[in-house]
Amino acid sequence: MKYKLLIEANDRKGLVYKISKILYEYGLNIEQNTEFVDACSNKFFMRTEFSGDIIKQKLIDDIKAILPTNHMISLKNDDKKNIVLLVSKESHVLGDLLIRYESGELQANIKAVISNHDNTKKLTEKFGIPFFHIPTNSLSREQHEALVKKTINRFDPNIIVLAKYMRILTPDFVKNYQHKLLNIHHSFLPAFVGANPYDMAYERGVKIVGATAHYVTDELDEGPIICQDVVHIDHTYNSDDMCKAGKNVEKIVLSDALNLLLEDKVLTFNNKTVIL
Protein backbone atom coordinates (compact mmCIF):
# COMPACT_ATOMS: atom_id res chain seq x y z
CA MET A 1 0.00 0.00 0.00
CA LYS A 2 1.28 3.48 -0.87
CA TYR A 3 0.88 6.52 1.39
CA LYS A 4 1.65 10.23 1.43
CA LEU A 5 2.70 11.83 4.72
CA LEU A 6 2.25 15.62 5.04
CA ILE A 7 3.75 17.55 7.95
CA GLU A 8 3.85 21.19 9.00
CA ALA A 9 5.61 22.16 12.24
CA ASN A 10 7.95 24.69 13.81
CA ASP A 11 11.41 23.94 12.51
CA ARG A 12 13.86 22.02 14.65
CA LYS A 13 17.19 20.35 13.94
CA GLY A 14 16.98 16.69 13.01
CA LEU A 15 13.31 16.50 12.04
CA VAL A 16 13.96 14.85 8.68
CA TYR A 17 16.23 12.31 10.34
CA LYS A 18 13.80 11.53 13.17
CA ILE A 19 10.78 11.15 10.89
CA SER A 20 12.71 9.01 8.42
CA LYS A 21 14.03 6.87 11.29
CA ILE A 22 10.48 6.09 12.44
CA LEU A 23 9.47 5.07 8.92
CA TYR A 24 12.59 2.89 8.66
CA GLU A 25 11.85 1.22 12.00
CA TYR A 26 8.37 0.40 10.73
CA GLY A 27 9.97 -1.39 7.77
CA LEU A 28 8.55 1.13 5.28
CA ASN A 29 10.16 2.12 1.99
CA ILE A 30 10.53 5.87 1.37
CA GLU A 31 10.04 6.41 -2.37
CA GLN A 32 10.10 10.20 -2.49
CA ASN A 33 10.75 12.94 0.04
CA THR A 34 10.54 16.74 -0.21
CA GLU A 35 10.99 19.29 2.54
CA PHE A 36 11.06 23.07 2.87
CA VAL A 37 11.74 25.54 5.67
CA ASP A 38 10.25 29.03 5.55
CA ALA A 39 13.01 31.13 7.11
CA CYS A 40 10.76 34.07 7.97
CA SER A 41 8.32 32.02 10.04
CA ASN A 42 10.67 29.16 11.00
CA LYS A 43 8.07 26.72 9.64
CA PHE A 44 9.04 23.23 8.47
CA PHE A 45 7.08 21.47 5.71
CA MET A 46 7.58 17.90 4.56
CA ARG A 47 5.91 15.52 2.11
CA THR A 48 6.96 11.89 2.04
CA GLU A 49 5.73 9.11 -0.23
CA PHE A 50 6.28 5.64 1.15
CA SER A 51 4.98 2.10 0.77
CA GLY A 52 4.38 -0.77 3.15
CA ASP A 53 1.90 -2.08 5.70
CA ILE A 54 1.04 0.13 8.67
CA ILE A 55 -1.32 0.66 11.56
CA LYS A 56 -2.21 4.19 10.56
CA GLN A 57 -3.03 5.78 13.90
CA LYS A 58 -0.03 4.22 15.66
CA LEU A 59 2.34 5.62 13.05
CA ILE A 60 0.76 9.07 13.30
CA ASP A 61 1.03 9.01 17.11
CA ASP A 62 4.70 8.01 16.98
CA ILE A 63 5.52 10.85 14.59
CA LYS A 64 3.50 13.36 16.62
CA ALA A 65 5.60 12.48 19.66
CA ILE A 66 8.79 13.82 18.06
CA LEU A 67 7.24 16.95 16.52
CA PRO A 68 7.21 20.40 18.16
CA THR A 69 3.87 21.75 19.36
CA ASN A 70 1.46 23.46 16.95
CA HIS A 71 2.03 20.92 14.21
CA MET A 72 -0.13 19.56 11.43
CA ILE A 73 0.16 15.99 10.26
CA SER A 74 -1.92 14.01 7.79
CA LEU A 75 -1.51 10.61 6.21
CA LYS A 76 -3.17 10.00 2.85
CA ASN A 77 -3.54 6.72 1.01
CA ASP A 78 -3.18 6.42 -2.75
CA ASP A 79 -6.89 6.01 -3.55
CA LYS A 80 -8.43 8.16 -6.27
CA LYS A 81 -10.23 11.22 -4.94
CA ASN A 82 -13.84 12.09 -5.73
CA ILE A 83 -14.52 15.47 -7.29
CA VAL A 84 -17.60 17.49 -8.21
CA LEU A 85 -17.50 20.23 -10.84
CA LEU A 86 -19.52 23.45 -10.59
CA VAL A 87 -20.03 25.36 -13.85
CA SER A 88 -22.10 28.16 -15.33
CA LYS A 89 -22.36 28.89 -19.07
CA GLU A 90 -18.77 28.61 -20.31
CA SER A 91 -17.66 25.17 -21.47
CA HIS A 92 -13.95 25.46 -22.30
CA VAL A 93 -12.62 24.56 -18.84
CA LEU A 94 -15.27 21.89 -18.26
CA GLY A 95 -14.60 20.30 -21.65
CA ASP A 96 -10.86 20.22 -21.01
CA LEU A 97 -11.31 18.48 -17.66
CA LEU A 98 -13.75 15.95 -19.10
CA ILE A 99 -11.34 15.08 -21.93
CA ARG A 100 -8.46 14.66 -19.47
CA TYR A 101 -10.70 12.46 -17.33
CA GLU A 102 -11.79 10.32 -20.27
CA SER A 103 -8.18 9.84 -21.41
CA GLY A 104 -7.07 8.73 -17.94
CA GLU A 105 -4.88 11.78 -17.42
CA LEU A 106 -6.97 12.97 -14.48
CA GLN A 107 -6.49 10.53 -11.62
CA ALA A 108 -9.84 11.14 -9.96
CA ASN A 109 -13.48 10.14 -10.01
CA ILE A 110 -15.67 12.90 -11.43
CA LYS A 111 -18.92 12.17 -9.63
CA ALA A 112 -21.12 14.97 -10.98
CA VAL A 113 -21.37 18.31 -12.77
CA ILE A 114 -23.66 20.92 -11.20
CA SER A 115 -24.67 24.08 -13.02
CA ASN A 116 -26.99 27.05 -12.66
CA HIS A 117 -27.50 26.84 -16.46
CA ASP A 118 -28.29 23.85 -18.68
CA ASN A 119 -26.20 24.60 -21.78
CA THR A 120 -23.38 22.21 -20.79
CA LYS A 121 -25.74 19.29 -20.11
CA LYS A 122 -25.21 17.55 -23.48
CA LEU A 123 -21.44 17.98 -23.28
CA THR A 124 -21.32 16.47 -19.79
CA GLU A 125 -23.56 13.54 -20.60
CA LYS A 126 -21.40 12.60 -23.60
CA PHE A 127 -18.82 11.53 -21.03
CA GLY A 128 -21.31 9.59 -18.92
CA ILE A 129 -21.16 12.04 -16.04
CA PRO A 130 -24.37 12.92 -14.13
CA PHE A 131 -25.46 16.52 -14.76
CA PHE A 132 -27.59 18.51 -12.34
CA HIS A 133 -29.23 21.75 -13.44
CA ILE A 134 -30.10 23.92 -10.45
CA PRO A 135 -31.47 27.22 -11.80
CA THR A 136 -31.50 30.33 -9.66
CA ASN A 137 -34.98 31.44 -10.81
CA SER A 138 -36.36 33.71 -8.07
CA LEU A 139 -34.36 32.00 -5.32
CA SER A 140 -32.21 33.93 -2.91
CA ARG A 141 -28.50 33.16 -2.95
CA GLU A 142 -28.88 31.19 0.28
CA GLN A 143 -31.83 29.16 -1.04
CA HIS A 144 -29.97 28.31 -4.23
CA GLU A 145 -26.83 27.33 -2.36
CA ALA A 146 -28.86 25.07 -0.08
CA LEU A 147 -29.96 23.09 -3.14
CA VAL A 148 -26.42 23.01 -4.50
CA LYS A 149 -25.05 21.79 -1.15
CA LYS A 150 -27.68 19.07 -0.94
CA THR A 151 -26.58 17.78 -4.36
CA ILE A 152 -22.87 18.06 -3.58
CA ASN A 153 -23.25 16.17 -0.32
CA ARG A 154 -24.75 13.18 -2.13
CA PHE A 155 -21.27 12.50 -3.52
CA ASP A 156 -19.08 13.38 -0.51
CA PRO A 157 -16.34 14.87 -2.72
CA ASN A 158 -12.75 15.44 -1.63
CA ILE A 159 -12.48 18.43 -3.99
CA ILE A 160 -15.08 20.78 -5.46
CA VAL A 161 -13.86 22.48 -8.63
CA LEU A 162 -15.34 25.80 -9.67
CA ALA A 163 -14.77 25.32 -13.40
CA LYS A 164 -15.94 28.82 -14.39
CA TYR A 165 -18.76 28.90 -11.84
CA MET A 166 -19.58 32.58 -12.12
CA ARG A 167 -21.30 33.11 -8.80
CA ILE A 168 -19.99 34.66 -5.60
CA LEU A 169 -20.32 32.14 -2.79
CA THR A 170 -21.61 33.03 0.66
CA PRO A 171 -19.37 32.66 3.73
CA ASP A 172 -21.62 29.84 4.96
CA PHE A 173 -21.08 27.86 1.76
CA VAL A 174 -17.32 28.39 1.87
CA LYS A 175 -17.19 27.36 5.53
CA ASN A 176 -18.98 24.10 4.72
CA TYR A 177 -16.24 23.13 2.24
CA GLN A 178 -13.13 24.72 3.69
CA HIS A 179 -9.97 23.74 1.78
CA LYS A 180 -12.08 21.79 -0.71
CA LEU A 181 -13.04 24.61 -3.10
CA LEU A 182 -10.71 25.13 -6.08
CA ASN A 183 -11.41 28.12 -8.33
CA ILE A 184 -9.99 29.31 -11.66
CA HIS A 185 -9.83 33.08 -12.12
CA HIS A 186 -9.17 34.61 -15.53
CA SER A 187 -6.48 37.00 -14.35
CA PHE A 188 -2.95 36.92 -12.95
CA LEU A 189 -3.99 37.68 -9.37
CA PRO A 190 -3.79 39.89 -7.41
CA ALA A 191 -4.33 42.03 -10.50
CA PHE A 192 -7.86 42.56 -11.87
CA VAL A 193 -10.08 40.77 -9.39
CA GLY A 194 -13.79 40.34 -10.09
CA ALA A 195 -15.89 39.46 -13.09
CA ASN A 196 -14.41 41.50 -15.97
CA PRO A 197 -10.61 41.27 -15.81
CA TYR A 198 -10.05 41.30 -19.58
CA ASP A 199 -11.87 44.61 -19.94
CA MET A 200 -9.78 46.03 -17.10
CA ALA A 201 -6.60 44.59 -18.61
CA TYR A 202 -7.40 46.15 -21.98
CA GLU A 203 -8.00 49.55 -20.41
CA ARG A 204 -4.70 49.28 -18.56
CA GLY A 205 -2.76 48.23 -21.67
CA VAL A 206 -1.15 45.14 -20.14
CA LYS A 207 1.34 43.06 -22.09
CA ILE A 208 0.52 39.73 -20.47
CA VAL A 209 -2.74 38.05 -19.51
CA GLY A 210 -2.94 35.07 -17.24
CA ALA A 211 -4.98 32.80 -15.02
CA THR A 212 -4.86 31.86 -11.37
CA ALA A 213 -6.07 28.71 -9.65
CA HIS A 214 -6.66 29.26 -5.95
CA TYR A 215 -8.53 28.04 -2.91
CA VAL A 216 -11.80 29.86 -2.27
CA THR A 217 -12.12 31.99 0.86
CA ASP A 218 -14.61 34.59 2.06
CA GLU A 219 -12.61 37.35 0.35
CA LEU A 220 -13.30 37.47 -3.39
CA ASP A 221 -10.34 36.09 -5.38
CA GLU A 222 -8.07 36.40 -2.31
CA GLY A 223 -7.61 32.71 -1.41
CA PRO A 224 -4.22 30.93 -1.31
CA ILE A 225 -2.78 30.71 -4.83
CA ILE A 226 -1.95 27.21 -6.05
CA CYS A 227 -0.96 27.69 -9.69
CA GLN A 228 -0.55 30.57 -12.17
CA ASP A 229 0.60 31.14 -15.73
CA VAL A 230 0.58 33.90 -18.35
CA VAL A 231 0.68 34.41 -22.10
CA HIS A 232 2.29 37.42 -23.80
CA ILE A 233 0.14 39.82 -25.82
CA ASP A 234 0.67 43.22 -27.45
CA HIS A 235 -1.09 46.49 -28.26
CA THR A 236 -3.05 44.94 -31.15
CA TYR A 237 -5.15 42.79 -28.78
CA ASN A 238 -8.60 44.00 -27.84
CA SER A 239 -10.47 42.57 -24.84
CA ASP A 240 -11.99 39.77 -26.97
CA ASP A 241 -8.53 38.76 -28.21
CA MET A 242 -7.28 38.78 -24.63
CA CYS A 243 -10.18 36.59 -23.58
CA LYS A 244 -9.42 34.07 -26.33
CA ALA A 245 -5.75 33.92 -25.36
CA GLY A 246 -6.61 33.70 -21.68
CA LYS A 247 -8.98 30.76 -22.09
CA ASN A 248 -6.12 28.50 -23.16
CA VAL A 249 -4.16 29.49 -20.05
CA GLU A 250 -7.18 28.92 -17.81
CA LYS A 251 -7.50 25.30 -18.93
CA ILE A 252 -3.85 24.48 -18.29
CA VAL A 253 -3.63 26.30 -14.96
CA LEU A 254 -6.75 24.68 -13.54
CA SER A 255 -5.77 21.15 -14.58
CA ASP A 256 -2.26 21.65 -13.18
CA ALA A 257 -3.64 22.91 -9.87
CA LEU A 258 -6.15 20.08 -9.67
CA ASN A 259 -3.42 17.50 -10.26
CA LEU A 260 -1.37 19.03 -7.42
CA LEU A 261 -4.35 18.61 -5.10
CA LEU A 262 -5.03 15.08 -6.29
CA GLU A 263 -1.41 14.20 -5.55
CA ASP A 264 -1.57 15.83 -2.07
CA LYS A 265 1.25 18.22 -2.89
CA VAL A 266 -0.34 21.42 -1.54
CA LEU A 267 0.05 22.74 2.01
CA THR A 268 -1.42 26.09 3.08
CA PHE A 269 0.13 28.60 5.44
CA ASN A 270 -0.68 32.28 6.10
CA ASN A 271 -2.97 32.51 3.02
CA LYS A 272 -0.15 31.10 0.88
CA THR A 273 0.64 27.64 -0.39
CA VAL A 274 3.72 25.47 -0.21
CA ILE A 275 3.92 23.04 -3.14
CA LEU A 276 5.96 19.96 -2.31
Residues with Cβ within 8 Å of 107's Cβ and at least 6 positions away in sequence, in order, are: 80, 259, 262, 263
Residue 94, amino acid: L
How far is residue 260's CA from residue 271's CA, in Å, rounded to a whole number? 17
Residue 255, amino acid: S
- Which of the residues 172, 221, 229, 264 is marked catalytic? 221
Task: Find the DSSP H helices in 29-159.
Answer: 56-64, 92-102, 121-126, 141-153
Q: Which of 215, 222, 230, 226 is nearest to 259 (CA)?
A: 226
Task: Find the DSSP H helices in 136-238.
Answer: 141-153, 171-176, 197-204
Asked about 118 being catalytic, the answer comes back as: no
Quote helix, strand, coil % in the chain, to nearest 5.
Answer: 30, 30, 35
Query: Residue 205, by phi and psi: left (phi above 0), alpha (psi -120 to 50) or beta?
Result: left
- Contact indicator for 237, 267 with CB cutoff of 8 Å: no
Q: Which residues are catalytic?
A: 221
